[in-house]
Amino acid sequence: MAIEHRAITDRAQWLRWREEFVGASEVSALFGAHPYVTALRLFVAKSGVTFEDKDNPILRRGRIMEPAVGAAVAEERPDWTITRSKSFYCDPETRISATPDFFIHGDPRGLGVLQTKSAAPSVFERDWNSGKEVPFWITLQCLQECMLTGAKFGVVAVLCMNPFDLVCSIHEVQRHPAAEAKILASVKQFWDDVAHGREPDPDYGKDAALISILAPRESSPEKSIDLSGHNQLPEMLEERELLHQRMRADEARCKEIETELKFLMRDAAVVTGLPDWKITWKTGTRQGYTVPTKELRTLRIRDQRKEEEEAA
């Protein structure tokens, strides 16, 4: 690969560069392994659809904690010299890129890259097996950074955000030629799919908001689609109806329990004698507000068999 490395001096410019490449933090979407980005979302984004660049608490934490994780690794591994990476690495031919967090110098093997993460204690336990494993999507990210920087090895470090014990778990990621070839092949296929408009299947659990963005309204009030050939759809609708019946029954039971509790409390504000539960029933005020008018595309599903039975 003919690698370019571009100095990052402006965030907006860096974001524009990223639009033209599959970045290391995105590539796992092509393997169905990214926790937030699906193959369809990546396809849509690289096809020219612009999404609002929203900040969120997790991204903010990552930016703030990145130097702290680097410092924690330097403390754990004093034989390494950790330096901040300030470049965007890319291959214009394969259209693959990476923006490493840090470089590692002073190891006998040569240059290393360091990918830093921070995680809440519950996530550290669930996704990282309490620091014993690296999530697959982050391993792919580190491998791609190694490929594009020519690093001899990679390191992933995660800082558990426990205020009483900031555990830093450090994992080495070795170069893996077969995995790197698979990454390149997947990226090549992805860009070919983008060029020819071959849209990947949605992840129906993760792509709900994306699908609403792609189809914000019907093209005409009278347009219809014949789904008679979709053999699984009747079974899916039956499942949905059963789930809704169960939800309605569960909601009704919850209201019964709450009503009995209110009856027992009468004019009491607080329940005592239940050490595992904190129960209050106090009067408060709710601030009024006005909801602005906006267009909503509403999906409505009705079981016409029940309507026919009720009408009979």
Confidence band, pLDDT 50/70/90 cuts, at residue 76:
very high
The chain-wide mean pLDDT, for the chain, equals: 92
User: What pLDDT score was predicted for residue 1?
Assistant: 75
Residues 11-39 have a mean pLDDT of 95
Confidence band, pLDDT 50/70/90 cuts, at residue 293:
confident
Residues 104-123 have a mean pLDDT of 96
Residues 119-123 have a mean pLDDT of 93
User: What pLDDT score was predicted for residue 204?
Assistant: 92
Q: Name the pTM for this structure.
A: 0.81
Residues 34-38 have a mean pLDDT of 94
98 burial via Cβ count (<10 Å: 0-12, 13-18, 19+): buried
pLDDT, tens digit (0-9, with 9 covering 90-100), for 208-229? 989 988 888 888 888 999 999 9
| Range of lowest pLDDT (16-30, 203-217, 239-253) | 203-217
Q: Which residue has the higher pLDDT, 199 or 52?
A: 199
pLDDT at 112 over 70: yes
User: What pLDDT score was predicted for residue 7?
Assistant: 96
Confidence band, pLDDT 50/70/90 cuts, at residue 178:
very high
User: What pLDDT score was predicted for residue 311?
Assistant: 65
- Delineate the domains of the chain, giving CATH numbers in brackets: 4-209 (3.90.320.10)
pLDDT at 260 over 90: yes
